[in-house]
Amino acid sequence: MLERLFQLKAHGTTVRKEIIAGVTTFLTMAYIIVVNPSMLQGTGMDFGAVFVATCLAAVIGTLIMGLWANYPIALAPGMGLNAFFSFTVVGSMGYSWQVALGAVFLSGLLFFLLSIFRVREWIINSIPLSLRFGISAGIGFFLALIALKNAGIVTDHPATLVGLGDLKATESLLFFGGFLLICALAYRQVTGAVMIGIIAVTGTAMGLGMVEYQGFVSAPPSLTPTLAQLDIAGAFDVAMVSVIFAFLFVDLFDTSGTLIGAAQRGNLLDKDGKLPRLGRALMSDSVATMSGAALGTSTTTSYIESTAGIAAGGRTGLTAVVVAALFLACLLLSPIASIIPAYATAPALLYVAVLMAGGLKLIDWDDLTEAAPAVVTAIMMPLTFSIANGIALGFITYALLKALSGRWAQISASVSVIAAVFILKFIFLDAA
């Protein structure tokens, strides 16, 4: 049955390899079951319900990817997008988390339609690489700011906006220790480095009496507080257009980049260098996003950590099925997840930020018309506390700078349209 479903022999793999690969992938991304609920809890959402929604969204998306697209790619609520959901859409813009979930659902629906009508290739190919790298780095800087804020390292200051917190505080020391541990383990290629770091900080805090042990296993919390609570009608507000676009845009490029990168790592591309069943893979992602919004979590996307499982030998959807089974088993671990403090998950956020900032090295720094928009995109995300604003200002800067430099031919139609829409948004919507 497994041979018929996944074509193991044709992909040069075995059941044993696929199981090992699935476990490896799961260990590298399991931190999300702790980080995502703690991130979304700040919006007023119930921690236990989001914990269950996170696990189930990962199960649904990963199963579809494994059984239908037959790829060893795992999905879960995405880092960066959950921060945008919590701190920008709900925190800064003042929308309810129900409306924010509605926006996530609509972005998933648009993603699905783009995949069906094959518009995705036109969009992906027409967006400048420099902006893509800038967006990735900017999300990383955004996560870094959140991590340092949660750990008390960066605090608000009336004169300088931000200042340095108390580095001698126990929470700060645990944060730095956790971050260094994660980086050292990752450098040594230890599987599950991020999760080990989170557990180590939590365990130390427990030993110091800062965290109270509440058990290890229990029945899953109720999903009722978030199940089908999304407000799609509220998301049709005009001001939400940029938010929906930001959810869609980041998910589109995050997923595409992950799929291509993972496929190259596992030699899954065809003879023309293209990814077979790309449409199925993208639709798996979009369906997972819509399902996740209905359950009660932010955008679900493909995880680059899947390359760890591919490196361990995973080549088919059986790897993804194993990951899904492990996420399902995690539903019983809510007591442990609920006691992990913010300063224990903050090192994981900063570590992910380091990885995402790596895209800056790929920017053409000798060409100011490419480098400047990328830098504007990257720095405006944390400084305005908004991924959407960073993307908007990046597109506007790119289009105007290319035009003023006399390089009109390098401004694609899609970039022109997107930049014009964002300019109109800032003039009319934000002014109002």
pLDDT in tens, 97-106: 999 999 999 9
CA 157-143-186 angle, to 5 degrees, is: 125
Tokens of 213: 């042990």
In this structure, are residues 306 and 355 in contact, taking their beta carbons and an 8 Å threshold? no
pLDDT in tens, 415-424: 898 889 888 8
pTM (2 d.p.): 0.81
Eight-class DSSP state of 221: P
Confidence of residue 429 (pLDDT cuts 50, 70, 90): low
Question: Quick one: tokens of 432?
Answer: 């109002």
For 233, the token pair is 């009608």
- Is-contact 385 87, C-beta < 8 A? yes
Q: What is the pLDDT of residue 157?
A: 86
Residue 139 to residue 380: CA distance in whole angstroms = 10
What pLDDT, in 10s, does the model give residues 83-119? 889 988 999 889 999 999 999 999 999 989 988 877 7
The answer to whether 324 touches 62, Cβ cutoff 8 Å, is yes
Residue the block writes with tokens 């490029």 = 253
Q: For residue 432, what pLDDT band results from cuts at 50, 70 and 90?
A: very low
**DSSP β-bridge partners for residue 301:** 76
Domains of the chain, residue spans: 2-359
Q: Which residue has the higher pLDDT, 335 or 296?
A: 296
Sign of the alpha-carbon torsion through 243, 246, 251, 252: positive
Number of Cβ within a 10 Å radius of residue 146: 25
- Mean per-residue pLDDT, 400-408: 94
- pLDDT, one tens digit per residue, over 181-209 is 999 998 998 888 888 998 899 999 999 99
For the chain, the farthest-separated pair of C-alpha atoms sits apart, in whole angstroms, at 66
Q: Report pLDDT for 237.
A: 85
Q: What is the pLDDT of residues 10-69, one digit of tens each?
A: 878 888 889 988 888 898 888 899 899 999 999 999 999 999 999 999 999 999 999 998
Tell me, what's the pLDDT at 254? 74
Asked if residue 344 lies in contact with residue 174, where contact means CB atoms within 8 angstroms, the answer is yes
- Which of the pair, 215 or 374, is modelled with greater confidence? 374
pLDDT tens, 241-270?
888 988 988 788 777 767 766 776 677 767
Which residue do the tokens 């002014």 mark? 431
Q: Which of 143-152, 259-268, 286-295, 320-329 has the lowest mean pLDDT?
A: 259-268
Q: What is the mean pLDDT of the chain?
A: 87
pLDDT of residue 124: 64
DSSP letter for 408, please.
G
Backbone angles phi, psi at 197, to 5 degrees: -65, -45
**DSSP β-bridge partners for residue 164:** 154
Q: What is the pLDDT of residue 183?
A: 93
Residue with tokens 């260990």: 27
